[in-house]
Structures are given as structure tokens and as C-alpha cells.
A and B are shown apart, each in its own frame.
Chain A
């Protein structure tokens, strides 16, 4: 489980909680627009050592079937994963929008 993206809606005054409590893990916007570079996993080289998963400040890398997979909705393109990967399985390319 992790916080997930909900449908974006406008909150009426009545819907905004009076107390400071609200549902945890409620996301309405992505962070993908922040990226100027895009990390790309070379699945042929990736050995699933999970170093990138461990060191990602945003937690956007998961290991699926022994390979790293990036959630591009929330990756900010900091590039830590590409530097931490000792076998060079993560490359970076310029982000085009």
C-alpha cells in the first residue's frame, strides 16, 4: 500500500474538514512535471539489487519480477538512482514535454 492518486475535484467549503484530520495518503497531483531528466532502466542489465529502490528519496522505484520499475508519475528526475547503480543499468535522458 502507498498513497495513491485520486480524482481531482474542487472541495466545497462544507467538505473541507473543520478539524485538522483528513484521509491519509490522499494524492491529487503528480510530480512528473518537475523532471528535466528522465531515468531509464536498462532491464537487460538490471539485476534487481534494489539499491535504487533503497536510496530513492521519493520511493518511486519498485522491484517487479526482479527488475527495477519507475513510477514516472512521481519521479522528480533527481538522478540519485542513476548514480547509485553500480552496474550502470540506469541511464538518463533529457525529458521532452
Chain B
């Protein structure tokens, strides 16, 4: 029985034998993206989970050309690689970066902004596991409201992270980038389509993919894909694209599933009380009112 998505991908594995935790959403995103881009992808990985699990000399788990960049320099190294290879006469390659949420929204945002400003021909993929997981779960700019991390602990007075998630997708879009998209590893065919589309567009492309971390989220390793689906179904994440100055919504849940059920499945949200959950639902409804107003959906 043919699987239309699997048929379009390379049968080769480009990220294999790595030391990511069992059920790692980030490694699934990297693996799927490289299967789209193929052998001629040159990948850049800043300090973060995927470089920590992929390059443990002599265990080197990428079978395409890959390099570790400085934490802040994913996008600038992509710029250099793209320019350097082009100067040497290569044309059949893709410079692709895989940075985590901290490496994108906090530490790497300046380099990313610069690359989009120059409109360098690169793909930047942010695998968002919503905290600095590699160093032991510290809050990043993309940690959602209420999440417990080691730097935003949950106590009697303060219930985890006080601040909402930064809106990285719209920040990238605000540069008037040629292509930006959001995705989730729970909707893998959608993510794969977006990577394919990005590979055909010239200029800077930014894809923001939600990639749950069983260790940091407090879920079982086999729940990664389900929870990545559920975050979309309950409306706390959305699948969208930005192209030619227009926002498009790709998937509209008919009725949102329960936000409370989504939150309570995860160890990082266990402490939330009814007021906190109300706050989360209100911010979701506000976001969706914005989406209804500004995004087209067909």
C-alpha cells in the first residue's frame, strides 16, 4: 500500500544512530526535512540538542555535509555556506539550518534577522520544543505561559512561566520574508510539504515546527506525535504560511479539543489551576480572533 508522503521522500537516512532521547520530536523534524532535501543539503546546527546528539566523535550521525555553528550564528553560517558554495561554482545544494527555540528566538534572532534582511538563499528551520532542553530544561522565549522549567519553577505563588510564547513566525513574516511557515511533527505530511515548497523558493525561508520533548514536557516517549497533533487540535498552535505578504491558514480545527486535557497530560503543566487554564484559553481565543481577521483560509 503506497503512502503518498513516503513516496516523495528519499529512501536514504541522513540522520541515523543519533543519541537523542527516545521519542524525540526534534530528531523527527530533522530526519524528515533532510529526507526532503537529500544528499546535497548542507546542514548547520548550532549548540543545542541536535548537535549534541548528532556529533559525538567518532559517532557522526549525519550522512550529508553538516557543521556545528556558534549558538548565535546559525543564520550567519548558512549565509557563509551558501555564498561560499555559490562562489565555488556549485548550484545544486541547499543550505539548511536546524536551530532550537532558544537558538532561534533568543540567542540566534539577530543573525536570523540579518539573513532575512539580506534575503540570503537559505532555509532556516526552528524545531521548537519550548525550552532549552539540552542543558536541562530552562525557559526560552518560546516557552508557553504556565510551563514549569528549572528557571520558572512552579510553587504556591508563581505557577511556572509568567510570560506567553514569543510569536516567532510573525516576527519572521514581519521582515517581509519570501516564505515563512508553521508546522508540527504531529502533522508530518504538512511539514514535509512546507519543506518541499521552501526548497523551491529563492531567498530566505523560515519554518517553525513544534517538536515535543518527552523529557522536558513530562510525557511518555510514545506520546510525542499525539501531543504534537493535539496542540494543533486544541488551538494552542496553528498551521499557517506567509507568502507574498499574505498569511494563509492551512488547517482549521472544526471544534477545538479540550485545552485542559492537553495541558494536564504533561508534567510541566500539572500544577496549573483553573484560573491559569482560563488564562491559556483566553489567550488562545484572542490569537484565533486575530487569525480569523488576518489570515485567509481555503
Chain A residues engaging chain B, CB cutoff 8 angstroms: 1-3, 5, 11, 16, 20, 22-31, 34-35, 47-51, 53-60, 62, 66, 74, 76-80, 82-84
Further pairs besides A25-B62, A57-B24, A76-B221: 14, Cβ < 8 Å: A3-B63, A23-B60, A27-B60, A29-B17, A35-B22, A47-B1, A54-B32, A57-B23, A58-B27, A62-B11, A78-B23, A78-B214, A79-B221, A80-B23
Q: How many residues of B contact A (CB 8 A)?
A: 47
Give me the 6 closest cross-chain CB pairs, A-B, nearest first.
A79-B222, A25-B63, A2-B13, A78-B23, A50-B3, A78-B22
Question: Which residues from A are CB-within-8-Å of B222?
Answer: 78-80, 82-83
Contact count A vs B, C-beta below 8 Å: 125
> Which of A30, A54, A76 has the most chain B CB atoms closer than 10 A to its own CB?
A54
Contact with A along B59-79 (1 / 0, CB 8 A): 111111111100000000000
A57's nearest neighbour on chain B, judged by CB, is: B28
Contact A24-B6, Cβ < 8 Å, known A48-B1, A57-B24: no
Let me know if A58 and B16 touch, CB within 8 A.
yes
Chain B residues engaging chain A, CB cutoff 8 angstroms: 1-3, 5-6, 9, 11-25, 27-28, 31-32, 39, 57-68, 188, 214, 220-226
Contact A3-B62, Cβ < 8 Å, known A25-B16, A58-B16, A79-B23: yes
Question: Which residues from B are CB-within-8-Å of A66?
Answer: 1
A53's nearest neighbour on chain B, judged by CB, is: B6
Contact A54-B188, Cβ < 8 Å, known A28-B58, A31-B17: yes
> Which of B13, B223, B226 has the most chain A CB atoms closer than 10 A to its own CB?
B13
Cα distance A49–B143 in the bound complex, in angstroms: 35
